[in-house]
Amino acid sequence: MSPRLVLVTGGAGFIGSNIVAALAESGEWDVAVCDRLRAADSGKWRNLAKHPIADFVAPEALADWLAWHEDELEAIIHMGAVSSTTEPDADRIVHANFTLSRDLWDWAAEHGKRLIYASSAATYGDGAQGFGDADDLASLSALRPLNAYGWSKALFDLYARRNADRGRAPAQWAGLKFFNVYGPNEHHKGAMRSVVCQKWPEAARGETVKLFKSHRDGVENGGQTRDFVYVRDAVEVVLWLLARPDVNGIYNLGSGRARSFRDLAEALFHALGQETRIDYVDMPAGIRDRYQYFTQADMTRLISMGYKRAFTSLEEGVADYVHMYLSQSDPYR
């Protein structure tokens, strides 16, 4: 059987390029990528260099490309976004994260194609309402994100739910609320890289790693927690959805377990075979009022839909990342 055609937007980015790699390795898909590579010295092109792709599409040419490949395209995996939580241009954020997503949804719905897209745990705001991923309109409307990035993702989740309820949906649609994803192919992200990637050079040199002090009563320094999920697990969920076209809705994608930044640093030093060295520094005053002290994905709904694969522990994921990628001369997947 000939490979099927899938389009991955943001396919040269962090999560997107790991999805492209897995799809290309499967032999079941011809993979087209829509993205911008920016400056050659950013290294973003290296995220794609080890795997064959069927086509590369500039974002401004996407509408024409979709028209030309309407008959053969089976699915769109939409990972393209402005993902910085500190991006100052709200117009840029809403255009990239809502408008393009809306247009892809409408196209997929009109032409009977499948759409899997990236939402975000940033939609939960400060977590006061918990991290349950109920995707009815009332539950989605009640969320209060803390930044424009989270709001743009929440806005599209609402668009998707509202249109699905009205019978205007793609052949399959699934939104994934990614929590704190880490792993290979994130070097180009700069300040938005995972803490593992950012702290790796210091730890590898045997230096002390700096973490934020806690500014909340009852939380120890370094005791702030996140749901850290290895990118390999994120990719497995996407592949599972491609194999399960009957699954629709918006789902959390995390490990299901909150771990502290201190745990993460200890896992990093352990992977290096070194004694843990941590120094705690004041959190910048400008982010203290919107800093999340706890995130943990409730994975009940995805598991109830039949997803059975175990998620990688923080220690196993950090060790794999360090040994297979960060410590290698060629750290790209």
Going by their DSSP bridges, the two strands 225-226 and 259-260 should be labelled as antiparallel
Query: Of the listed 50, 159, 189, 332, which one is catalytic?
Result: 189
Tell which residue, 137, 136, 135, 155, has the closest CA to residue 145: 155
Buried b / exposed e along 159-171 (16+ C-beta atoms within 10 A): bbbebbeeeebbe
Interacting residues of 40 by C-beta distance below 8 A, sequence separation 6+: none
Amino acid at 207: E
Does 230 qualify as catalytic in the annotation?
Answer: no
Amino acid at 204: A
**Does residue 96 contact residue 87 with C-beta atoms inside 8 Å?**
no
CA distances for 291 relative to 117, 265, 275, angstroms:
26, 19, 29
Does 199 qualify as catalytic in the annotation?
Answer: no
**Does residue 121 contact residue 177 with C-beta atoms inside 8 Å?**
yes
Query: Of the listed 149, 182, 230, 307, which one is catalytic?
Result: 149
**Dist. CA 251–CA 306, nearest whole Å:** 13
**Dist. CA 315–CA 216, nearest whole Å:** 26
Tell me how far apart the 2 most distant CA atoms of the chain are, in Å.
60
Which residue's structure tokens are 């050659």? 40
Tell which residue, 269, 293, 150, 125, has the closest CA to residue 212: 293
**Dist. CA 202–CA 217, nearest whole Å:** 29
Q: Which residues are catalytic?
A: 149, 189
